[in-house]
Amino acid sequence: MTTKSNFTPKWIDKAPKKGSFRSIFKYGDPIGFKHPNAQFFDEIKKKFKLSNKDFKEKETTGNEIVKLERKTAIQSDQIKKFISICGTDNVSSQEYERLKFSTGKTIEEAMKLRVGIVNNITDLVIHPRTKKEISELVKYCNQEKIPIYVYGGGSSVNYGFYPEKGGITLVLATHLNKIVKFNEINQTATVEAGILGPEFEKLLNNAMKHYGVKQNFTCGHFPQSFEYSTVGGWFVTLGSGQQSSYYGDAGDLVLGVEMISPTGTIITKNYPATATGPKVLDIIKGSEGSLGIVVELTWKVFHHQPKNRQYFSFVFPNWEAAVNASREISQGEFGMPAVFRISDAEETHHGLKIYGIEDTFIDKLMKFRAYKPMQRCLFLGTADGDKRFAKNIKSKVKKICKKHGAMSLTSFPVKKWEPSRYKDPYLREDLMDYGVLIDTLETSVNWDNLHEVHQKCRDFIKKRPNTICMTHASHFYSQGTNLYFIFIIKENDIEAYRKFLEGIINEIEKSGGSLSHHHGVGRMIGKYMTQHLGENQMNILRSLKRHFDPNNIMNPGGQLGLD
Amino acid sequence: MTTKSNFTPKWIDKAPKKGSFRSIFKYGDPIGFKHPNAQFFDEIKKKFKLSNKDFKEKETTGNEIVKLERKTAIQSDQIKKFISICGTDNVSSQEYERLKFSTGKTIEEAMKLRVGIVNNITDLVIHPRTKKEISELVKYCNQEKIPIYVYGGGSSVNYGFYPEKGGITLVLATHLNKIVKFNEINQTATVEAGILGPEFEKLLNNAMKHYGVKQNFTCGHFPQSFEYSTVGGWFVTLGSGQQSSYYGDAGDLVLGVEMISPTGTIITKNYPATATGPKVLDIIKGSEGSLGIVVELTWKVFHHQPKNRQYFSFVFPNWEAAVNASREISQGEFGMPAVFRISDAEETHHGLKIYGIEDTFIDKLMKFRAYKPMQRCLFLGTADGDKRFAKNIKSKVKKICKKHGAMSLTSFPVKKWEPSRYKDPYLREDLMDYGVLIDTLETSVNWDNLHEVHQKCRDFIKKRPNTICMTHASHFYSQGTNLYFIFIIKENDIEAYRKFLEGIINEIEKSGGSLSHHHGVGRMIGKYMTQHLGENQMNILRSLKRHFDPNNIMNPGGQLGLD
């Protein structure tokens, strides 16, 4: 079946057609691509028993032009009011726009749009220019009972801003995308919620120039969606970056926020710590748009000192050894690596192909030293911060890894991985063009149930014939870590796919993992919340919801499992 | 006026009389004392223009026997019910007991009890034996609308468990004082809420023996009240330990809790991180008994490796230099010192006396090098964790301190300070015997308003003639620190004293500090909460209160400013 040859599918490497469905569901940069390399392509064919022939013709492309006849449900006097607040240019009832800003990055949405299936779309897209405008919008919508959804960078993988109830969608990145205050003394940057990762980081990296300060800074938060997600989105969904083990998760990195809700505006204080009762900031953390709109955030920044960065990679004989070493590192009290990532045997197998490490000297060395394929596990790491601090981490990590049977792979693999860190999502369009789906689910675990959750979820996923399941842990804490499952299957049936996903989520919950470590809840996971947290805890969240948003206009319809 | 002589007042060094007021308000161990040393005594006399004669006769001692005629308001059938739940031995309506467990450690309470003034006391003292009993108590009290107060270690300095509305007081330390589960893999200890600091730490320090594990552990949390406070109390009041800059504050150190409230029992999950909406654990954090009773907590523990500890002390030419160096350390990204404490000029002046450093070689060295009294500022530090990590911190700290004009004082001052770290509160009884009051208030600040808050509050305090005001910062973060004001005055009038305190709290708030960094809110600070957080944020807390405790039986009457 498998054919090794010089054949390469005609991966699409042009921007999607203007106005097409593809232009909406395609990940990231319209002219950004990462095609499967030859090794990975061969692996896919082998796994799914496909031949080159199966990659001659695309199953779907979604390059068809969006044509919808969906009248907006917002009345004309209401539209007039919105225009009076935000200006004509910033209000659109045009169907393409409405579909675009209603669409996130779930595989299900892409599957549907590829065949022209369109679910709910928002009734009106609004690009507010100021927080004052947002305040007026919220007030008016509350009075008129018009639902409000907020579009940040659009990278949600759980229908987090899906306009279940119609209404309006606010796009924050259009205008609300600036650093409004840089405070060198406190090491904070106060930003508008719609600023995207790259712009934020660029300004911080050049703080000396922009703000006349003594050093340059970094935000420390680099999720895979970095280029297409906003600072506000990072916070309200409790995201985690690829260097979170050192810098912390988004929830830890925000000192204070301004949130506009139907009950009024909340401006929390920016103290580094305070013992004045339950913190409202903590209540807003993770509220995913269901309590109000976070319009401004004060972010903790760090010195930007890339010259201090240490790189290290190891291979372990097996997953258990990699986990044990990771635990010892996480509990070692010498500071944490920044990038800190272990891949299980199957991810290591594919990762070596995807990162282009297979057949290099590193691969040969591993084979020579008998680190066996489908057993060996890759560890990638960096250390940031002060130079001696980072060097000490590197040396401690090395010692611990060796103790657990690992061999150093030098800095080569992590340096191969680093430049493509935001690029993996681009694989999905190429594969989907030929009916192959790549998707992810993730959870957090304590050390003592890590193996149980990993094994049970893998078992469930692998029960499906011809399925690739790769797992890594990449956010570490003294008390545990996360598990990130990436699965690749061949599937055309949307309902079957949805059932498969739901089966995995259920397995995660049943085996003791959390419903999400950093993707958030949205609508996809919402329905499991009561089973997960229990009725008592859900009632607390519902009570908060009623307080902030008595008319249920903020991101209504299943978000967080609230209704 | 001042008389240097061999005269020493007859400080009381016997346990308070059994059944006396003093046995209730005296801090800590009944036979624990720390008398003012000769140098500090001389200073007090000088400051308050007193002579030895003024220390011949005590103004008050409070050694009178408590005699109250306060019938309990709990009806006899209700008492029967309580006895049926908790057993006869664990229910007391005896007046001494009721006063004892209604009394915290504010100076005002001590002033009053010294002259026999008794405010509200609880109607019934109950020592529950299990969390099941607590659950039954809460259910019954909710039905009968009987207020419930919880006594942890009794160290509250803000009327945090003052039975404003009568009712019952639960004493948790009597029976609920065990580690119920030690988990070496996750590095957690699950404890009953009433376990006191020393017992908790002793068990952890001997974990190898008690739990058959591979290493010994530490809880990392050492507030000044360590010996007389409970783990549950640490958490619900958001306490901070003297090594918090490294280990974190109590709110960071708890992974999960079980809380019993009138609306039901909440058991939060113990994930190291999770993105499943606003976290109920965060809502319970700092709730100070107003939402429910935390009965069990899962605490993050650390390796106990005292041999790794590094000690260092410095003297700075002035406060500004000490603050600048501290900021550079806190933002230096090489890990944080554990003990990390800078004293302003006045605290340094008195501290050198109190810690017995005056006239030692260190003092002479400082004078020789022209670090001037009432300008110079002391820095005390330790570093914990891995040895090379801790050594690197020491070396970095040294470099930064020198850059800011400091001279190393070797490890001598911090080693002088360390053994007496829990002893300073014992000074207060000796001084109060002669009408001299020593009290504290504290706040948190960002780096950019530290000096403003410090100066404004000092100005206010020093406006009062003959007042000692010492300030230190001892809990550091990248974005700021705390300020801890210790003031000593001669005052007999309770009302005048209360006004003075309120003036300081007001000044803290007005100048931009938080209402508390780690003492919590209680009733003393409660009335400033709306002014501080604003009506909108208070309404959120009130809404939570109504949800958890619709009949307002949990710690009712002004707690957190809720009613």
pLDDT band (50, 70, 90) for residue B358: confident
Residues B186, B165 within the same domain: no
Residues A187, A281 within the same domain: yes
Smallest CA-to-CA distance from A208 within A338, A305, A309 is with: A305
Residue A533: which of B276, B475, B529 has the nearest Cβ? B276
Mean of all residue pLDDT scores within chain A: 96
The pLDDT value given to residue A2 = 44
The pLDDT value given to residue A553 = 98
> Domain containing A329 — which CATH number?
3.30.70.3450
Neighbours of A132 (CB within 10 A): 12
- Chain A residue with CA closest to B445: the answer is A271
In the listed set B171, B205, B226, which residue is the last one of a domain according to the structure?
A: B171
- The yes-or-no verdict on residue A4 having pLDDT over 70 is no
Token reading at B47: 């400051």
Domain span at residue B93? 76-171
Diameter of chain B by CA atoms? 74
The pLDDT value given to residue A5 = 62
Mean pLDDT of B428-440: 97
Residue B333: which of A389, A534, A540 has the nearest Cβ? A389
Contact at CB, A266 and B335, closer than 8 angstroms? no
CB of B79 within 8 A of CB of B167?
A: no
The pLDDT value given to residue B6 = 81
Neighbours of B42 (CB within 10 A): 16
Q: What is the nearest CA distance from A271 to chain B, expressed in angstroms?
A: 6
- Chain B residue with CA closest to A476: the answer is B272
In the listed set A171, A202, A225, which residue is the last one of a domain according to the structure?
A: A171
The pLDDT value given to residue A18 = 97
The pLDDT value given to residue B356 = 82
Contact at CB, A560 and B388, closer than 8 angstroms? no
Token reading at B471: 């300030």
Q: Who contacts A118 (Cβ-Cβ below 8 Å, separation ≥6)?
A: A68, A70, A99, A112
Residue A374 domain-assigned?
A: yes
The pLDDT value given to residue B563 = 86
Smallest CA-to-CA distance from B311 within B217, B406, B408 is with: B408
Residues B316, B282 within the same domain: no
pLDDT per residue as tens digits for the range B68-95: 999 999 999 999 999 999 999 999 999 9
Q: Which residues in chain A are closer than 8 Å to B478, comparing Cβ atoms?
A: 187, 272, 300, 302
- The yes-or-no verdict on residue A130 having pLDDT over 80 is yes
Contact at CB, A547 and B548, closer than 8 angstroms? no
Taking the Cβ of residue A239 and every Cβ of chain B, the question of whether any pair is shorter than 8 Å is answered with yes
Residue B31 domain-assigned?
A: no
Residues B267, B192 within the same domain: yes
Q: Between residues 245 and 284 of chain A, which touch chain B (CB distance below 8 Å)?
A: 249, 251, 255, 263-280, 282-284
Residue B234 domain-assigned?
A: yes
Q: Which residues in chain B are closer than 8 Å to A279, comparing Cβ atoms?
A: 282, 285-286
Residues B359, B291 within the same domain: no
pLDDT per residue as tens digits for the range A152-180: 999 999 999 999 999 999 999 999 999 99
Contact at CB, A263 and B519, closer than 8 angstroms? no
Residues A235, A329 within the same domain: no
- The yes-or-no verdict on residue A218 having pLDDT over 50 is yes
pLDDT per residue as tens digits for the range B20-57: 999 999 999 999 999 999 989 999 999 999 999 999 99
pLDDT per residue as tens digits for the range A462-480: 999 999 999 999 999 999 9
pLDDT per residue as tens digits for the range A332-364: 999 999 999 999 999 999 988 888 888 888 899
Residue A48 domain-assigned?
A: no
Q: Between residues 14 and 73 of chain B, which touch chain A (CB distance below 8 Å)?
A: none
pLDDT per residue as tens digits for the range A16-56: 999 999 999 999 999 999 999 998 999 999 999 999 999 99
| Strand ranges (E), A465-504 | 468-473, 476-477, 480-490
Mean of all residue pLDDT scores within chain B: 96
pLDDT band (50, 70, 90) for residue A3: very low
> Domain containing A131 — which CATH number?
3.30.43.10
Smallest CA-to-CA distance from B130 within B260, B257, B229 is with: B260
The pLDDT value given to residue A69 = 92
Q: What is the nearest CA distance from B4 to chain A, expressed in angstroms?
A: 43
Q: Which residues in chain A are closer than 8 Å to B479, comparing Cβ atoms?
A: 186-188, 255, 270, 272, 300
Q: Between residues 474 and 513 of chain B, which touch chain A (CB distance below 8 Å)?
A: 475, 477-482
Q: Which residues in chain B are closer than 8 Å to A251, comparing Cβ atoms?
A: 273
Cα–Cα distance measured from residue B315 to residue A119, given in angstroms and rounded to the nearest whole number: 68
Give the pairing type, strands A168-171 and A124-126.
parallel
Residues A160, A219 within the same domain: no
pTM for the predicted model, two decimal places: 0.97
Token reading at A66: 């969006």
The pLDDT value given to residue B525 = 96
Residue B529: which of A272, A276, A532 has the nearest Cβ? A276
How many CA atoms are closer than 13 Å to the CA of A371, on its beta-carbon side?
25
Residues A189, A298 within the same domain: yes
Q: Which residues in chain B are closer than 8 Å to A543, comparing Cβ atoms?
A: 543-544, 546-547
The pLDDT value given to residue B332 = 98
Q: Who contacts B284 (Cβ-Cβ below 8 Å, separation ≥6)?
A: A278, B236, B257, B259, B266, B268, B291, B292, B294
- The yes-or-no verdict on residue A1 having pLDDT over 60 is no
Residue A216 domain-assigned?
A: yes
Token reading at A279: 């913190």
Mean pLDDT of B254-274: 98
Residues B296, B318 within the same domain: no
In the listed set B123, B150, B171, which residue is the last one of a domain according to the structure?
A: B171
pLDDT per residue as tens digits for the range B515-559: 999 999 999 999 999 999 999 999 999 999 999 999 999 999 999
Residue A510 domain-assigned?
A: no
pLDDT per residue as tens digits for the range B148-164: 999 999 999 999 999 99
Taking the Cβ of residue B359 and every Cβ of chain A, the question of whether any pair is shorter than 8 Å is answered with no
Residue B389: which of A285, A334, A517 has the nearest Cβ? A334
Mean pLDDT of B177-181: 98
Q: Between residues 384 and 423 of chain B, which touch chain A (CB distance below 8 Å)?
A: 384-386, 388-389, 392, 396
Residue B275: which of A238, A534, A543 has the nearest Cβ? A238
Please list the alpha-helical segments (H only) found in B404-479.
412-417, 427-432, 450-463
Residue B516: which of A185, A268, A276 has the nearest Cβ? A276
Contact at CB, B514 and A185, closer than 8 angstroms? no
Chains A, B: CB contacts within 8 A come to: 276
Residue B381 domain-assigned?
A: yes
- The yes-or-no verdict on residue B359 having pLDDT over 90 is no
- Chain B residue with CA closest to A548: the answer is B540
Phi (first) and psi of residue A305, to 5 degrees: -140, 70
Residue A343 in 3-state DSSP? strand
CB of B327 within 8 A of CB of B382?
A: no
Please list the alpha-helical segments (H only) found in B300-408.
319-330, 345-354, 361-368, 387-403
Angle between helices B450-463 and B494-511 (to 10 degrees): 160
Mean pLDDT of A398-404: 98
Residue B479: which of A188, A239, A285 has the nearest Cβ? A188
Contact at CB, A537 and B266, closer than 8 angstroms? yes
- Three-class DSSP labels, B37-95: CHHHHHHHHHHCCCCHHHHCCCCCCCCCECCCCCCCCCCHHHHHHHHHHHCHHHEECCH
Residue B505 domain-assigned?
A: no
The pLDDT value given to residue A359 = 87
How many folded domains does chain A comprise?
4
| CA distances from residue B348 to A449, B314, B316 in whole angstroms, order as listed | 50, 11, 10
pLDDT per residue as tens digits for the range B314-351: 999 999 999 999 999 999 999 999 999 999 999 999 98
Taking the Cβ of residue B540 and every Cβ of chain A, the question of whether any pair is shorter than 8 Å is answered with yes
Contact at CB, A514 and B300, closer than 8 angstroms? no
Query: Considering chain B, what percentage of its residues have pLDDT values greater than 90?
Result: 94
ipTM of the prediction: 0.97
Mean pLDDT of A498-509: 98
Residues A325, A336 within the same domain: yes
pLDDT per residue as tens digits for the range A229-256: 999 999 999 999 999 999 999 999 999 9
Query: Considering chain B, what percentage of its residues have pLDDT values greater than 70?
Result: 99
Neighbours of A370 (CB within 10 A): 10
The pLDDT value given to residue B135 = 98
- The yes-or-no verdict on residue B195 having pLDDT over 80 is yes
Residues B202, B232 within the same domain: yes
- The yes-or-no verdict on residue A367 having pLDDT over 80 is yes
pLDDT per residue as tens digits for the range B377-430: 999 999 999 999 999 999 999 999 999 999 999 999 999 899 888 998 999 999
Q: Between residues 335 and 354 of chain A, which touch chain B (CB distance below 8 Å)?
A: 335
Residue with tokens 């010492």: B470
Residues B145, B195 within the same domain: no
DSSP A559: G
Neighbours of A209 (CB within 10 A): 10
